[in-house]
Structure 1
Amino acid sequence: MERETYVKFSVSRLKDELKKKGATTRGRKADLIDRLKAYDRNKDFKNDPIHIPEPLEVDWPTRGFQQLQESHKEEIPEICIEQIDMYFVHRLAGDRQSTGDVKAIEKGRLLVESDRVLAVSYLKEDNSLFFTGIVGAAMKTKVTYNFKLKFDKNSGDILNNHCECPAGRGPHGTCKHLAAVAIVLLSCSEGKGLRIQRSCTENLQTFHKPKHSYSGSPVKAEDPGSRI
């Protein structure tokens, strides 16, 4: 069914259609329409040929992380946008998360473009890569969320996610903040740079410079002999 057809539906009817598919009915009308479209596009996720890794209960490491740099590109597994789409869209449908947002990837990309990914650190352990750091809220500049993310080092599949925001609760969160981090790692793995906000030590330091430049005549040097 086309989106134009769903637009004509009332909110009650949209929710009825979602209930038939076993999907969550939370959200605004636009969210309900997008959710129905996702189910239609993927045939209600009943005959999904894509393998979705089972979420693993994970004991998140707390030590040994180092700040992610562009030079660490070789440490990041080859990731493709299809894997990110698979995780967020299909996981939302499979887990029927009431707080899930089908536009998480789109909103995550906007966070990246707005430089809201503030810090990312990583740790390699056996066949897994752990990432942790901070992502800023979209609308509130002083609000930030800590995130955790686990990748399979060999396949590049996302295994576990967690974010402090309501939609990102682990062990397999699907919020826009986690999507933003996944997009940053995708960009890095493709050699397109690391879209992480610079730290204060990386920015050009200007605290030691005068506020105003002197534009007058040169000051005559004092004759050292005049002091004798």
Structure 2
Amino acid sequence: MSKRKHSKDYGEMTIPLLKQELRLESYDRNDNFGHQLVQAEQFNMNMPTVTEEQVKIYMDLYGQDLKENSKAMYKAKFLCSIRLASQKENVYICGRVSAEMYKNCIYNVDIQLDSLGVVQQCQCECAAGMGPEAHCKHVGQVLHALTKLKDGDKSPEDMFLQSIHVTAITHDEQESIEIKTCGQGTNKFWGEERLLRLHASIFGRICTATDRTDFPKLAESLTQYKNIKSSAIIQDRKYEAVARDAYSKDQSVFSFKV
């Protein structure tokens, strides 16, 4: 470090002089602090999409179906891990599944897929899992897990809400809906979008529902748009344009339409 002035002189120095005076010279000599870290390429798991229909077709070939027991075991976290390796047009899956009836017993399940996600062959270490056409509950559990990888194991409810843009919405989608719903009650699209969301008009009915509430009837009323024509609403609509123009003049803004 360069020779410093007395501390009482620091207050009289300009910012550039202070930076020069207090600069750690060792940092300048060792600015790289060794070799530069090279970031490794991010791992990308290129796995074909496996659909429930493809799993059903494989099971049907051997007169079987995806048993509820396999789905229940998957939900109960009997599946320990899944690994994969790809070679040319084939993808090889290795799953480790805990035995249902025995503690500390894990079966290895091997599955071969093609690039389209079609099941080619399977085998399992359990007594009923002889390959290459194994279709035991452990194979079924791994196949069921593969169908979940494409959507992050989301529930049907979550996927439906996402498809209608309710739980998450982008800025572009927001602007598009805003344009399409101009006119509110006179716009059919506004009514359709309104049915997809909880708003002040129906929030109280949901919160005050009790065991005595007819929930099917309540759900039906919430999913069917009705153009209400009460005397109060008719009165408001008659004077809406007048009130809007008066507000525009009072606030010295351009006339607007909701």
**TM-score when scaled to structure 1?**
0.46
Indicate the structure with greater helix content: 2
Structure of higher RCO (CA pairs closer than 8 Å, 6+ residues apart): 1
Is the radius of gyration larger for structure 1 or structure 2? 2
